[in-house]
Amino acid sequence: MPTLFQRKMAAWILRRQGIDRFPLELRRRRLYILPTRAGLGFGVVVLGMLVAALNYGNSIALLLTCLLGGFVLVAMHQAHRNLAGLELASATTTPAFAGERGGLSVRVVNDSPLARYRLEIDALGAPPATADLAPQSSHEIRLEVPVPRRGLMRIDRFRISTTHPFGLFRAWSWVHAPLTLVVFPRPRGARPVPPHAGGPRGQARAAGAERDEWVGLRAFRDGDSPRQVAWKAYARGAPLLTKEYAASGSQQRCFEFDRLEGLDTEQRLEQLARWVVDAEARGESYGLVLSATRLPPEHGPEHRRRALTALALHGSASP
């Protein structure tokens, strides 16, 4: 929990910088730098050496103290330079199930001819994610954020920082680009899956024409028909792959919130999430009926995402 001082500092920084838009360049005006604990300890040692050198009139000790003082100044400027001029191209979030870890991905671009070392991204108290950037390159830094409850989690700001080169100073910048992370209900529950809601979509097809709905490619296995091999992909240098199809006339299921009697709201949503995940894994078509949402039977990654998002936002005012 942030202290009163931290909240006041955060509000002052927000007023000073405003809401950020991508792409965003880290200019000097928005960079902050302070000594770390190691830097403070090193400064106390140098100060003690200076007092002792002056007290005893030891010119060699005084020279060493001046050299260490110059070392501290160089470290401070190097830490500042490690962030100055970086470009943050974009920031996106990755949904996750409650109790797991969602993702915050920040694409950082280094147009400078100098490398950038030990860049750290942190937000919401999560352990920082670290990366190095080569000259004239870009890199996506992914931070894992704990998500304890379903719904929409707001990420009002995140920090990019560095302690390079010697860990004596930390330079950082706050990025105020409000993001939302969708947290799906935890998929669990022991209720049996509802029976099929009806027959196949449309009229039944001939046996030889049932498997005509494209699913994707998988690695070739012994016994696969040569007709199913993706020869065009193989000619382009890809490994031997097999085309997969699903039955276009597969049975449909309908998952309804109101039919889960004897469970509270969260338990119903968790059971529905369990059914959605399992039905998608089996390649079945499934629909979802909530109090304010109705999804017709479909299947596929996009339909799975829509269904789980509807469960995550159930009962909230968010669209």
DSSP string, 217-242: EEE--TT--GGGB-HHHHHTTPPPEE
Which residues of the chain are in CATH 2.60.40.10 domains?
1-182
CA distance 148 to 95: 13
CA angle 96, 100, 106 (to 5 degrees): 55
pLDDT per residue, tens digit, the chain (319 aa), is: 668 888 888 888 888 888 989 899 999 989 999 999 999 999 999 999 999 999 888 889 899 999 999 999 999 999 999 999 999 999 999 999 998 999 999 999 999 999 999 999 999 888 999 999 999 999 999 999 999 899 999 998 999 999 999 999 999 999 998 899 999 999 988 888 887 655 444 333 333 444 455 556 777 776 677 877 888 877 877 788 887 665 554 567 888 888 888 888 899 999 999 999 998 888 888 899 888 788 888 888 899 999 999 999 987 755 4
For residue 70, the one-letter residue type is G
pLDDT at position 3: 81
Architecture of domain 1-182: Sandwich (2.60)
pLDDT at position 245: 61
- The per-residue DSSP string of 290-310 comes to -SS-EEEEE-SHHHHHHHHHH
Q: Which residues pair with 253 in a beta bridge?
A: 196, 286
Yes or no: say if 171 and 179 are a contact pair by the CB < 8 Å rule: no
For residue 4, the one-letter residue type is L
Give Cβ neighbours of residue 125 (< 8 Å, ≥ 6 apart). Answer: none
CA distance 108 to 95: 21
Query: Smallest Cα–Cα separation from 308: which of 147, 184, 152?
Result: 184
For residue 75, the one-letter residue type is A
pLDDT at position 197: 59
